[in-house]
Amino acid sequence: MDAFSQVIISAVNQVKNAVVGIDTYARRQGKLKKAGSGSGFVFSSDGLVFTNSHVVQGAEKIMVSLLNENEIEATLVGKDPDTDLAILKIYSDGYSTARLGDASGLQIGQLLIAIGNPMGYQHTVTTGVVSALGRTLRSPSGMLVDNVIQSDAALNPGNSGGPMITTDGEVVGVNTAILSGAQGISFSVAIDTAKEIARQIIQTGTVFRAFLGFQLQEVELNPKLIRHHHLSNRRGLFVTHIEPDSPASRSQVQEGDWIIAFNQKPVNTLSDLFKELASRDVLAAAEISVIRHTELLHFAIFPVVRRPFQ
């Protein structure tokens, strides 16, 4: 067998027993009927499962299918529609636990593997490469999801909530969306974001995250700029769009700026910014530092609480 195939098989074997199928049921005309399906994966030894919020939205009953064909009713622990993530809990055995990796180390062009249940075909494996990192994606709730991985792995309806893994068998993303009408453009919420969402849901049952209103893209900074301004950064966040009537729109930051610091802390990745926005202490005047052309500028910005999902 060729080396490429061996790498894929080895990675899949490490994760496949953690990947689950999800069927949801809702009441119609007084009877529970199947309402949708998706994927998920077990990430803790006590049966916690990651999936997408839109997979379980409106569900009155959630059934989880393991690779050994056992089917268990799951409990919804919590969800965050604004990142399209949800956590379920199952009480069963016969599964393994997926290893959660670190998406900050991904490189454009790196091989990725998706596992899920597209169109009901359980445990389907597809491959692709990282097309872009640090994307901002609009979630089904209409909010902007930061720290999204773009790949060309083939995803289809039913893949939602499944794991995106590396050739080492580590989960680096939760598959969430495809672009309708496009081919080879798929998105996964970075596992770094998912870990923070899980921490908040498990500890408090809710998710707090301040809102700025930027659409951002992680970019490499010009070495000359780094030397000129004595920056510790190697990367920054390129402002591709500013949401109307948002803290960003009321600041002096402009589209085309590169954000390099927030509250005097270097920002290399969207994960860095996400961590700062996960603290309630940020709900006051904050300082945001940007590079505009070649000039280093510092502005005030006033983050707000994200609106509740309707």
pLDDT, tens digit (0-9, with 9 covering 90-100), for 116-151:
987 777 789 999 999 988 887 776 656 677 788 999
Return the minimum-mean-pLDDT range out of 163-177, 210-224, 251-265, 286-300. Answer: 210-224
Selected catalytic residue, list 82, 84, 192, 272:
84
Are residues 47 and 109 both part of a single domain? no
Q: How confident is the model at residue 105 (pLDDT cuts 50, 70, 90)?
A: confident
Task: Mark 219-238 as b/e (b = at least 16 C-beta within 10 Å).
Answer: eebeeebbeeeebebebbbb
Asked if residue 95 is part of any domain, the answer here is no
Are residues 48 and 13 both part of a single domain? yes
Query: For position 296, what pLDDT does the model report?
Result: 95
Active-site residue flag, 246: no
Active-site residue flag, 152: no
Asked if residue 290 is part of any domain, the answer here is yes
Selected catalytic residue, list 65, 160, 186, 251:
160
Are residues 229 and 290 both part of a single domain? yes
Asked if residue 232 is part of any domain, the answer here is yes
pLDDT digits (tens, 9 = 90+) for 260-269: 999 999 998 8
Asked if residue 273 is part of any domain, the answer here is yes
Query: For position 122, what pLDDT does the model report?
Result: 77
Are residues 249 and 193 both part of a single domain? no
pLDDT digits (tens, 9 = 90+) for 212-241: 999 898 888 999 999 999 999 989 999 999
Query: For position 151, what pLDDT does the model report?
Result: 93
User: Does the pLDDT value for residue 5 go beyond 60?
Assistant: yes
Are residues 177 and 230 both part of a single domain? no
Asked if residue 21 is part of any domain, the answer here is yes
Q: Which of 203, 234, 254 is the last residue of a domain?
A: 203
Active-site residue flag, 229: no
Are residues 71 and 120 both part of a single domain? no
User: Does the pLDDT value for residue 310 go beyond 50?
Assistant: no
Are residues 84 and 25 both part of a single domain? yes
Query: For position 156, what pLDDT does the model report?
Result: 82
User: Does the pLDDT value for residue 309 go beyond 60?
Assistant: no
Domain count within the chain: 3
Domain residue limits at 242: 210-305
User: Does the pLDDT value for residue 292 go beyond 70?
Assistant: yes
Asked if residue 310 is part of any domain, the answer here is no
Selected catalytic residue, list 23, 37, 53, 54:
54
CATH number of the domain that residue 49 is part of: 2.40.10.10
Q: Which of 89, 111, 144 is the last residue of a domain?
A: 89
Asked if residue 94 is part of any domain, the answer here is no
Q: Which of 89, 116, 136 is the last residue of a domain?
A: 89
Burial class (CB in 10 A: 0-12, 13-18, 19+), 105: exposed
User: Does the pLDDT value for residue 54 go beyond 80?
Assistant: yes
Are residues 58 and 113 both part of a single domain? no
pLDDT digits (tens, 9 = 90+) for 60-85: 999 999 988 789 999 999 999 888 89
Are residues 158 and 176 both part of a single domain? yes
Q: What is the mean pLDDT of residues 278-300?
A: 90
CATH number of the domain that residue 286 is part of: 2.30.42.10
Q: What is the mean pLDDT of residues 157-186?
A: 86
Average pLDDT, the chain: 89
